[in-house]
Chains A and B, each alone.
Chain A
Amino acid sequence: MAAGAVLGAAGTDGTRVQTAPGGERPGAMEPAEGAARTLPSTGRVSVAGRISGAGRLSRGPHLRKLSGRLGVSPSGRALPPGSQENADPQKIAFLLRKQWTLYSVTPLYKFSSAHLKDYGRQLGAFIAAEKQKGLAVEVGVELGIKVAVSSLPGLKGSDQDHAAVLVQLSLKSSASQKKTEEKLIWSGWFCCVAGDDLSLNVLEDFTCLPLFLANGAESYTSLVGSWFQKTFDCCFRRLVISPLILTWMAALWTGYKVDKTSSAVELVFSVPCLPQPLDISYAIHTEDAKALWDTVQKTPGEITQEEVDVFMDCLYSHFHRHFKIHLSATKLVKVSTGIASARCDGIIKFLQSQYIIRVLMLLTELAVAQIQ
């Protein structure tokens, strides 16, 4: 939010469009001036646009509904009702507001949830051994890393889904010998929400937990990941999110109801082929975005690629009207809404516990697509 350029414009249809610097600072109004001022050559341009004439921006009359066109089709799937009910709210809360790096994981061979405690012990021993490797001369330092592997009940979409598995590494402070003083240094979890596409195709000995989310230093991710790869003959791969999927997320999450007014919908675009990186941040009030989406989306519970495209095109044309920038020529790199935020490099943050399952369902689908 460094750029100070203030861009203002009046909607041609007479509706007032207020723009202000600082993505999440609505209200700081500037008088409409007409043409946009020039952009700074580097840095970020933040625009908070208020779309009031959403109705006029809606699509033409003869749109055809396409379904299942996208490899990932979040459309037409009945959501598991109340699947989160038996989830421990505390554990769910733990997952919120953290940055999780996404990985896809191939099915685990001979994994058994009956042995989670043993796995924790073995993983702890493995980490201790790896940590001491190459430190022959460094003696007397105890690496008190405690590993806990537990199950996260409730985080599933259907009965076929395996219960999510949480791995936590915490540091035992050696100075004070008190057991209570454990500092959580890394956590990661495996989950599968409505991953039937994968689960149905594998054999008995395999456990499908195709999505892995890690928070903490990558060195620990690598240790834990290596151990799982060695022990359960699986394969981890970073899961990146394509711009196309990001538009889906933007549309989907905009459509979800949020209790109270939450932060704006923010889309970050990166302009390619510039000597210096230039990011454009485009923030829209949640209720405006929702209003726009509601006019675009026709059948409840079913979303088509075309609707997503129309939604994005509306946002693009609105932006173009004021700033003469074609956002469609840039690359969408981040979507952030009140539900969750996602980055193209595969980092996600959950913000609303009630929608975590739905977000995970989409992510599971992405992970399965990467595996198959």
Chain B
Amino acid sequence: MQRRQSSKHSKHVHDSNQTDLSAWRKERSIDTEKTVQNQQSPSDDSEHNSLEKALRFFEKVQDRVSLKKSEVLQKHLSTVESIGLQRGLPPEAFDTLLTVALSGKLADTVNTRLLKSLVPASVIPETSVVSSVSWLCVSKCTGSIQLLFLRWLITMFDFIDRKEQLHALYGFFFSFLYDDKLCPYACHVLYLLTRKENVKPFRVRRLLDLQAKTGMQPHLQALLSLYKLFCPELVNITLPGKSKTYFKNSEAPWKAAINTVRRRNQANSPVSQALCLGTAQPQSRKRKWNTQLIVPVSSANAQNLVGNREKNCVDLYSTIESFPVEQLQTFTQLLENIHCLEFPSQMGSVLANPLLLHYMNCIKDESIYLRLYYWMGQTLQEECTWCVVENNQYEQEFKDFLEIIYKAECFLQEGFSSCEEFLCRSLPLWDGLCCRSQILRLVSWIPLSSFSEMKSQICDPLAQLFFTSSLYFKCSVLECLKELLQNWLNRHVVQLDSESDNQFHSLNTTLSGLVNGIAELIHFVGWISTVALRLENNCTFLLYFILDFYEIVCDMYLKYNLPLLIMPPAGVFYPALLSMDSVSLNHLCYIMYRYRANLVAAKENELNKKKTQQFKFSSQTYQEYNQYIIAMVGCLWTSSAFQKDDHPQGVRLDEELLKQTGVQEFKNSFNIVYHPAMMGYAILFLQQACPDDTTFNFSLIKGKKWNWYLEYLYAQGLKGLKLFVESSINRVSQASQNKAGNVEV
């Protein structure tokens, strides 16, 4: 009900879409456990707590606890299982859980379940793996657990954060070869670990011995062939040709969970996923090799390589001053390294990375925009789901892509030119359904300069769809056009602020261009609104969006310092005035109050500054305003409906005709008591003011009661009405009910 009355500051309108820096920093903190937690909704806090409790329990558990008897153990075990399999465990959980599982304190069923749920959310700390290998060597756990651990290790190998110390344990793993059951898996681990320096004559001998004992085993062959690759002189035997399956598949128990966790993380943050898991690109369809909607951030290495070739250095970064963008994770890092940061090799990767967007904001280099322009233009055209037939199964992906572009535009507070071109090309073909909200939001970032040029390409298809689509579509179009207007006005204000530095002027239009462009947009919205109200039977919901638009229009002079005011067309004004509900009426009152404030201010400025101004409001605007205000006051206040309205489309009827209708006191019928939108208030007021009177005699509301009624209405939240009455109606004296409106401006 309540209208926003205080003038909100224009520049902050888009705050909701600005990235909250602190949130970003938290999210990207190295502490990946927090990453997982922060991405979840607060309801996950309880889960986090229960995981902590479970970890504390497993840390302390001393003696063998029977699973059947201990409900506490059951509870904690299922906590670990559900979190592990659903979203993965944080790095610090591994030490505790691996120690429990391998120390043999608990029954094997428990250990098995624990091991099976050890899926990392991000990484596994190397130290926890090293300590579990030492547990393995003291043989506290059974053979089957040892086996399961090795399979786990093979599966999770790529998730371990570092592997230096693990390499130092090479000999320990080698010793597991003598265990018949463990041998195939130990071979696989060794295969993953082996480096050239690990290949020693005694190891080769052992392997050959084993092979002589057990026959040709594929896992031994694999390791031997690797040894042979590193040191051909040590392995003299000939190995059979390549075989595709050297090792048994170890990952079966974890495969599903890893995928679940990965998908989850990916959905939460496409950027951090690649960084945390260290995995390759999210494996989306690769139907085409050259389209990648989300480009990973990577340094521009190629040029560096060339530069350093003479020095023949292996380490890329040792001689290069620049800070690798892959490592950029926090805002602090950005600040500290901003002088030696380079944009990634593919500018497309900047879009989904707020830190780099910040950086982009600081660096004014045309080549950045040009690179982005080419990439985005081509990708949009190639991936558009309604322009390219084969793409329609990838709508979600395209939606996400458009969403990312939109967010980047909000962040940078400006539209991308490739996006405008795309909209121009594709809107005529658009069905109005596919990626609707994304497309409309992108429309709201079209800059004014291009909008004037491409008006027909944007407005014509939009208007066609607008007239033929549902009420909700109409509302969303109006909403997006409101955003568009707001963005233009914000930009104008920013430009005024920075008028002294000449940076901006070249890019943008002159003031008259701006005024014309904005006027065009407002007339367009006025036109489609008029038609839409007819089509939708003056639907309140629609009216709300239309009036929302005019709430910005009516304040352009004062709030945005723009010498332009345009009144709503009669097709909008009258439906709002005669609306059946108080929200619209109140909204209209507020808007008319703001029009008055703006027009008065404009007139004052005109009188004060004697010099001729470039822009003056035409007398027609004042005239229109006066016509409307006379009609409005006549209806709502002076009870002279149907008489004082001289607008050609106004509420005016012949007296004879009105008499024929037989309605008594028709003049009253739109005042604040009888108006259909207000009658409900009048009834409630009467019930309170005259509890004894059950006839609902509205004529009782006059004199003192009229003022009480007004107070009552204001207390009900009709603040727009209050502002309107106080500003636009000149009451002879507060005590008198003699209503006289001096409304002329």
Report how far A106 CA is from B366 CA in the complex, Å. Answer: 16
Chain B residues closer than 8 Å to A205, beta-carbon distance: 367
Mark the stretch among A187-195, A232-240, A317-325, A327-335 that contacts chain B: A232-240
Q: Mark A213-247, 1 if CB is under 8 A from B, else 0.
A: 00000100110011001111111110000000000
Cβ of B430 within 8 Å of any chain A Cβ, yes or no, is no
Chain A residues closer than 8 Å to B378, beta-carbon distance: 106, 235, 237, 371
Cβ of B337 within 8 Å of any chain A Cβ, yes or no, is no
Interface residues in B190-228 by Cβ distance below 8 A to A read 191, 222, 225-226, 228
Q: Mark B298-317, 1 if CB is under 8 A from A, else 0.
A: 10111101100100000000
The reply to whether B374 and A139 form a contact with Cβ atoms under 8 Å apart is: no
Nearest residue (CB) in A for B245 is A137
The reply to whether B309 and A203 form a contact with Cβ atoms under 8 Å apart is: no
Chain B residues closer than 8 Å to A237, beta-carbon distance: 290, 378, 381-382
Chain A residues closer than 8 Å to B382, beta-carbon distance: 237
Cβ of B706 within 8 Å of any chain A Cβ, yes or no, is no
> Which residue of the partner chain, among B222, B366, B374, contacts A235 with CB atoms under 8 Å?
B374
> Which residue of the partner chain, among B242, B305, B345, B377, contacts A233 with CB atoms under 8 Å?
B345
Nearest residue (CB) in B for A112 is B306
> Which residue of the partner chain, among B226, B300, B305, B381, contacts A139 with CB atoms under 8 Å?
B226
Nearest residue (CB) in A for B230 is A139
Cβ of B244 within 8 Å of any chain A Cβ, yes or no, is yes
The reply to whether B367 and A229 form a contact with Cβ atoms under 8 Å apart is: no
Cβ of A3 within 8 Å of any chain B Cβ, yes or no, is no
The reply to whether B306 and A118 form a contact with Cβ atoms under 8 Å apart is: yes
Report how far A203 CA is from B375 CA in the complex, Å. Answer: 16
Chain A residues closer than 8 Å to B371, beta-carbon distance: 109, 233
Chain A residues closer than 8 Å to B222, beta-carbon distance: 137, 139
Cβ of B638 within 8 Å of any chain A Cβ, yes or no, is no
Report how far A117 CA is from B631 CA in the complex, Å. Answer: 81
From known contacts A118-B309, A138-B242, infer whether A236 and B290 are also in contact, taking CB-CB under 8 Å: yes
Chain B residues closer than 8 Å to A260, beta-carbon distance: none
Report how far A320 CA is from B346 CA in the complex, Å. Answer: 53
The reply to whether B225 and A140 form a contact with Cβ atoms under 8 Å apart is: yes
> Which residue of the partner chain, among A106, A138, A225, A230, contacts B345 with CB atoms under 8 Å?
A230
Query: Which of B244, B366, B370, B377 counts the most chain A CB atoms within 10 A?
Result: B370
Q: Mark B522-543, 1 if CB is under 8 A from A, else 0.
A: 0000000000000000000000
Cβ of A110 within 8 Å of any chain B Cβ, yes or no, is yes
Q: Mark A197-213, 1 if CB is under 8 A from B, else 0.
A: 00000110110000000
Report how far A236 CA is from B301 CA in the complex, Å. Answer: 20
Report how far A225 CA is from B378 CA in the complex, Å. Answer: 15
Nearest residue (CB) in A for B247 is A137
From known contacts A230-B345, A231-B345, infer whether A109 and B306 are also in contact, taking CB-CB under 8 Å: no
Q: Interface majority SS on A: helix, strand, loop or mixed?
A: mixed
From known contacts A137-B244, A203-B366, infer whether A235 and B298 are also in contact, taking CB-CB under 8 Å: no
Cβ of B640 within 8 Å of any chain A Cβ, yes or no, is no
Cβ of B246 within 8 Å of any chain A Cβ, yes or no, is yes
Write the nearest CB–CB distance from B554 to chain A, whole angstroms: 41
Report how far A110 CA is from B375 CA in the complex, Å. Answer: 15
Write the nearest CB–CB distance from B697 to chain A, whole angstroms: 74
Write the nearest CB–CB distance from A277 to chain B, whole angstroms: 18
Chain A residues closer than 8 Å to B370, beta-carbon distance: 107, 202-203, 206
Cβ of B686 within 8 Å of any chain A Cβ, yes or no, is no
> Which residue of the partner chain, among B225, B244, B374, contacts A371 with CB atoms under 8 Å?
B374
Chain B residues closer than 8 Å to A235, beta-carbon distance: 290, 374-375, 378-379
Chain A residues closer than 8 Å to B700, beta-carbon distance: none
Interface residues in B365-388 by Cβ distance below 8 A to A read 366-367, 370-371, 374-375, 377-379, 381-382
Cβ of A115 within 8 Å of any chain B Cβ, yes or no, is yes
Cβ of B72 within 8 Å of any chain A Cβ, yes or no, is no
The reply to whether A115 and B306 form a contact with Cβ atoms under 8 Å apart is: yes
Cβ of B347 within 8 Å of any chain A Cβ, yes or no, is yes
Report how far A140 CA is from B191 CA in the complex, Å. Answer: 14
Report how far A218 CA is from B290 CA in the complex, Å. Answer: 11
From known contacts A138-B242, A140-B225, infer whether A233 and B346 are also in contact, taking CB-CB under 8 Å: yes
Nearest residue (CB) in B for A109 is B371
Nearest residue (CB) in B for A223 is B289
Q: Mark A96-139, 1 if CB is under 8 A from B, else 0.
A: 00000000001101101001001100100000000000000111
Cβ of A175 within 8 Å of any chain B Cβ, yes or no, is no
Cβ of B30 within 8 Å of any chain A Cβ, yes or no, is no
Cβ of B1 within 8 Å of any chain A Cβ, yes or no, is no
The reply to whether B375 and A140 form a contact with Cβ atoms under 8 Å apart is: no
Chain A residues closer than 8 Å to B653, beta-carbon distance: none
Report how far A306 CA is from B382 CA in the complex, Å. Answer: 31
Chain A residues closer than 8 Å to B309, beta-carbon distance: 118
Cβ of B229 within 8 Å of any chain A Cβ, yes or no, is yes
Nearest residue (CB) in A for B374 is A106
Write the nearest CB–CB distance from A364 to chain B, whole angstroms: 16
Query: Which of B191, B229, B305, B382 counts the most chain A CB atoms within 10 A?
Result: B305
Cβ of A141 within 8 Å of any chain B Cβ, yes or no, is yes
The reply to whether B290 and A233 form a contact with Cβ atoms under 8 Å apart is: no
Report how far A222 CA is from B291 CA in the complex, Å. Answer: 11
Q: Mark A165-176, 1 if CB is under 8 A from B, else 0.
A: 000000000000
Report how far A203 CA is from B229 CA in the complex, Å. Answer: 49
Interface residues in A60-119 by Cβ distance below 8 A to B read 106-107, 109-110, 112, 115, 118-119
Write the nearest CB–CB distance from B58 to chain A, whole angstroms: 34
Report how far A119 CA is from B371 CA in the complex, Å. Answer: 20
Chain A residues closer than 8 Å to B306, beta-carbon distance: 112, 115, 118-119
The reply to whether B346 and A225 form a contact with Cβ atoms under 8 Å apart is: no
Write the nearest CB–CB distance from B55 to chain A, whole angstroms: 34
Nearest residue (CB) in B for A230 is B345
Report how far A221 CA is from B302 CA in the complex, Å. Answer: 19
Report how far A206 CA is from B372 CA in the complex, Å. Answer: 13
Write the nearest CB–CB distance from A139 to chain B, whole angstroms: 5
Chain A residues closer than 8 Å to B300, beta-carbon distance: 110
Report how far A236 CA is from B377 CA in the complex, Å. Answer: 12
Report how far A229 CA is from B349 CA in the complex, Å. Answer: 12
> Which residue of the partner chain, among A139, A225, A232, A371, contacts B229 with CB atoms under 8 Å?
A139
Report how far A118 CA is from B301 CA in the complex, Å. Answer: 12
Chain A residues closer than 8 Å to B366, beta-carbon distance: 203
Interface residues in B54-96 by Cβ distance below 8 A to A read none
The reply to whether B375 and A222 form a contact with Cβ atoms under 8 Å apart is: no
Query: Which of B229, B290, B306 counts the most chain A CB atoms within 10 A?
Result: B290
Interface residues in A139-160 by Cβ distance below 8 A to B read 139-141
Report how far A209 CA is from B452 CA in the complex, Å. Answer: 33
The reply to whether B229 and A140 form a contact with Cβ atoms under 8 Å apart is: yes
Query: Which of A107, A139, A222 counts the most chain B CB atoms within 10 A?
Result: A139
Write the nearest CB–CB distance from B349 to chain A, whole angstroms: 10
> Which residue of the partner chain, among A107, A122, A140, A202, contacts B302 with CB atoms under 8 Å?
A122
The reply to whether A122 and B229 form a contact with Cβ atoms under 8 Å apart is: no
> Which residue of the partner chain, among A109, A118, A141, A226, contacts B290 with CB atoms under 8 Å?
A226
Report how far A229 CA is from B288 CA in the complex, Å. Answer: 14
The reply to whether A222 and B303 form a contact with Cβ atoms under 8 Å apart is: no
Report how far A140 CA is from B289 CA in the complex, Å. Answer: 28
Nearest residue (CB) in B for A133 is B280
From known contacts A106-B374, A140-B229, infer whether A226 and B289 are also in contact, taking CB-CB under 8 Å: yes
Report how far A205 CA is from B367 CA in the complex, Å. Answer: 8
Chain A residues closer than 8 Å to B229, beta-carbon distance: 139-140
Report how far A221 CA is from B289 CA in the complex, Å. Answer: 9
> Which residue of the partner chain, among B242, B298, B347, contacts A141 with CB atoms under 8 Å?
B242
3 closest A-B pairs by CB: A222-B289, A106-B374, A231-B302
Sample of 12 A–B contacts (CB below 8 Å): A109-B371, A122-B302, A137-B222, A138-B244, A203-B367, A225-B290, A226-B289, A233-B375, A235-B374, A235-B375, A371-B374, A371-B378
New A-B pairs, 10, CB < 8 Å, besides A118-B305, A119-B306, A138-B242: A109-B367, A110-B303, A206-B370, A226-B289, A230-B302, A233-B371, A235-B374, A237-B290, A237-B381, A371-B377
| Chain A residues proximal to chain B, CB less than 8 Å | 106-107, 109-110, 112, 115, 118-119, 122, 137-141, 202-203, 205-206, 218, 221-222, 225-226, 229-237, 371
